[in-house]
Amino acid sequence: MIQANRLNQVSEYYFSTKLGEVRALEAQGKDIVNLGIGSPDLPPPPQVIEALNLAFVNPGAHQYQPYKGTGEFRNAIREFYKNHYQVDLNQETEILPLMGSKEGITHISLAFLNEGDEVLIPNPGYPTYSSVTKLVGAEAVYYDLNEAGNWLPNLKELAKTDLSKVKLMWVNYPHMPTGASATDAVFQDLVDFAKKHQILIVNDNPYSFILNEDPKSILKVEGAKEVVLELNSLSKTFNMAGWRVGMLCGSEQHLKTVLKVKTNMDSGMFYPIQAGATAALHLPKKWFSSQNEIYGIRKEKILELAEALECTPAKKQTGLFVWAKVPEGSTSEGFVDYVLHKYSIFIAPGFIFGSQGEGFVRFSLCETTENIQRAIKRVKS
Ligand SMILES: Cc1ncc(COP(=O)(O)O)c(C=O)c1O
């Protein structure tokens, strides 16, 4: 059967094919140090596993769950936003649990975009924003981020362009893949920009607790809810990527629109997952410091590895990755293949995040210090 036209502009996710190549090398006996993907290798908090196990024997555990999540889970999200971001949310109307923030990108796009609507997408940025935009028949309009501008959007330049067809803008601070973060002033400018040009801004915020001193939510800006939604996730914050659990926060009106899509796509989240996620969100701040101690040590090692490979890491970075310039004269794809075949180390090429990522690579911190040390040894010897 011929595929639907909507798939013509979308290709298979890079990692889905490249990891096949990595696995084939492993099958040939190569010992690959995988610094490509951001899937946390550390375990979730023990309290989460305990809550999950207890939830299995709850009499209603195996039934369909409410579309909006359980009251306990939404309350935990409300408290989490209050405690960590100083943002007040109404747990009945302004919180929508999701199966990971990735599904939220599709739901939001289906909920708000018509064919031909334009969507502002960061370049470089998480590839799903553009693939989903294309899948729903909208037009991706990329806004360039660069090192000189600290990987922040140049709203003054954007305002000079024709924004009349733009309905949605994706932002992602702390930013993946560059590790850049936004100040309060940047978030304020974004909200002002959204109001002035009548654009719905969505901040995708899964990295705010990883090696970041000052976690922020764009929803803290006064009046933000009128024009802003925020996605968040437990994948990186609590090492629960495989659980598929996240959330969307914003105004009642926007969430009702998204819920119209979501109620037609799933039938609630498995109760034990919600119970485990609730336990995670209640954890004290020392959970973050314990994780960041480990990530801090790994980051030092990754910086050493990057230097040994003659890459130049960006100066100030947060998050789960190290973003670095490749050596002069290399392309990001060529460099990644060279490092994979010469040293059996897999890193992500910057071009997969957009043209502005060309010339850069992304190292993940989701490998043990010992394995990163092994990688360093291979390169140095
Ligand atoms: C910027 C960004 N947004 C969203 C996601 C997806 O997160 P989740 O696991 O919550 O779907 C990722 C995962 O790598 C990401 O890097």
Q: What is the 3-state secondary structure (H, E, C) of 93-104?
A: CCEEEECCHHHH
Does residue 301 contact residue 373 with C-beta atoms inside 8 Å? yes
How many whole angstroms separate alpha carbon 151 and alpha carbon 143? 11
| Contacts of 380 by beta carbon, 8 Å cutoff, 6+ apart | 308
Mutate to test the pocket of ligand 1, among 102, 123, 170, 318 (most ligand atoms within 8 A of CB): 102
Ligand 1 atom nearest the C-alpha of 103 is 11
Nearest CA to ligand 1 atom 14: 38
Ligand 1 centroid from CA 235, angstroms: 8
pLDDT in single tens digits along all 381 residues of the chain: 999 988 888 877 788 888 899 999 999 999 999 999 899 999 999 999 999 999 999 999 999 999 999 999 999 999 999 999 999 999 999 999 999 999 999 999 999 999 999 999 999 999 999 999 999 999 999 999 999 999 999 999 999 999 999 999 999 999 999 999 999 999 999 999 999 999 999 999 999 999 999 999 999 999 999 999 999 999 999 999 999 999 999 999 999 999 999 999 999 999 999 999 999 999 999 999 999 999 999 999 999 999 999 999 987 899 999 999 999 999 999 999 999 999 999 999 999 999 999 999 999 999 999 999 999 999 998
**Residue 174, preceding bond cis, omega within 30 degrees?**
yes
Q: Are strands 360-364 and 312-313 parallel, antiparallel or unpaired?
A: unpaired
How many whole angstroms separate alpha carbon 234 and alpha carbon 101? 9
Which pLDDT score, from 0 to 100, does residue 331 have? 96
Which pLDDT score, from 0 to 100, does residue 157 have? 97
Ligand 1 atom nearest the C-alpha of 39 is 14
Ligand 1 centroid from CA 4, angstroms: 26
Q: Which two tokens stand for residue 373?
A: 């040390």
Which pLDDT score, from 0 to 100, does residue 137 have? 95
Q: Are strands 33-35 and 139-144 parallel, antiparallel or unpaired?
A: unpaired
CA contacts within 13 A on the Cβ side of 266: 19
Nearest CA to ligand 1 atom 6: 102
Buried b (16+ CB within 10 A) or exposed e, 281-318: bbbeeebbeebbeebeebbebbbbbbeebebebbeebb
Does residue 276 contact residue 243 with C-beta atoms inside 8 Å? yes
| Contacts of 84 by beta carbon, 8 Å cutoff, 6+ apart | 209, 215, 285
Q: Which residues line ligand 1 (CB under 6 A)?
A: 38, 100-102, 126, 172, 176, 204, 206, 233, 235, 241, 246
How many whole angstroms separate alpha carbon 54 and alpha carbon 71? 18
Ligand 1 centroid from CA 101, angstroms: 6
Torsion angle (degrees, nearest 10) of CA 301, 307, 309, 310: 170
Mutate to test the pocket of ligand 1, among 15, 106, 126 (most ligand atoms within 8 A of CB): 126
Which pLDDT score, from 0 to 100, does residue 256 have? 98
φ, ψ at 37 (rounded to 5°)? -110, 160
